[in-house]
A and B are shown apart, each in its own frame.
Chain A
Amino acid sequence: EPEVTQTPSHQVTQMGQEVILRCVPISNHLYFYWYRQILGQKVEFLVSFYNNEISEKSEIFDDQFSVERPDGSNFTLKIRSTKLEDSAMYFCASSRDRQATNEKLFFGSGTQLSVL
């Protein structure tokens, strides 16, 4: 089965630094998502991306965050000036069509971000 690939699996950064989390969605997929899960809490939607622009974003996704599809294969999440509370598992996901149709949403294995 095709996979969504996320790198790195674990990233450690100092508070105030910028981090970029990388994802390679499945090649023929058109919709891309970022979710996060703080340890012991529920998974939270951050942003969706389609046709090279943000389609929907949650309240969490403020000016500190940005997303980009720089080269047609990668999908990145940039977090500027990281804070301790940004420590979480960040999941990338993709689907060929809108998630609620016959195509299912594929999740990556996540990047565990630790802000010290």
Chain B
Amino acid sequence: AQTVTQSQPEMSVQEAETVTLSCTYDTSESNYYLFWYKQPPSRQMILVIRQEAYKQQNATENRFSVNFQKAAKSFSLKISDSQLGDTAMYFCAFMKRSGGGADGLTFGKGTHLIIQP
């Protein structure tokens, strides 16, 4: 079974600052995917970024980037030039790459990110 750990229950930064959210995971799988999801107060889950474990290059999406360290099983999210709209819960998630079927995500407990004006 996989586990995902987010050690920061809450973080607060000033608008326009850069913030890094931590995530570690444990798995015996060699092929898998990692995700960061954002959950604003509306509670809808929104995909922020995705990383395929077999790719060494870190994924980026505009102001969002990851630092993927496969050997250390670490997958942190960096948000540059943070904006008030970034205030939300952020969940790190893992999914194994199985041979068939539709696989479920394993989520961490989340980090509540607050962007202060």
Kindly state the separation between the CA atoms of A54 and B93 in the bound complex, as whole angstroms.
22
Asked if B22 lies at the interface with its beta carbon under 8 angstroms from chain A, I say no
Return the CB mask of A58-95 against B: 1 if under 8 Å, else 0.
10000000000000000000000000000001010101
CB <8 Å contact, B45 and A104: no
A31-B102 contact in complex given A42-B108, A99-B95, C-beta closer than 8 Å = yes
Which chain A positions have C-beta within 8 A of B91? 42-43
Which chain A positions have C-beta within 8 A of B45? 35, 43, 91, 93, 107
Kindly state the separation between the CA atoms of A89 and B101 in the bound complex, as whole angstroms.
25
By size class, the interface of chain B is 20 to 34
By size class, the interface of chain A is 20 to 34
Asked if B28 lies at the interface with its beta carbon under 8 angstroms from chain A, I say no
A45-B43 contact in complex given A100-B33, A100-B97, A104-B50, C-beta closer than 8 Å = no
List the B residue with the shortest CB-CB distance to A112.
B43
Minimum Cβ distance to chain B for residue A26 (Å): 14
Among B64-117, those with CB < 8 Å from A are: 91, 93, 95, 97, 101-110
Contact of A45 among B42, B44, B52, B105 (CB under 8 A): B105
Contact of B102 among A58, A91, A98, A107 (CB under 8 A): A98
CB <8 Å contact, B104 and A45: yes
Residues of B at the A interface (CB closer than 8 Å) are 33, 37, 42-47, 50, 52, 91, 93, 95, 97, 101-110
Residues of A at the B interface (CB closer than 8 Å) are 31-33, 35, 37, 41-50, 55-56, 58, 89, 91, 93, 95, 98-100, 104-105, 107-110
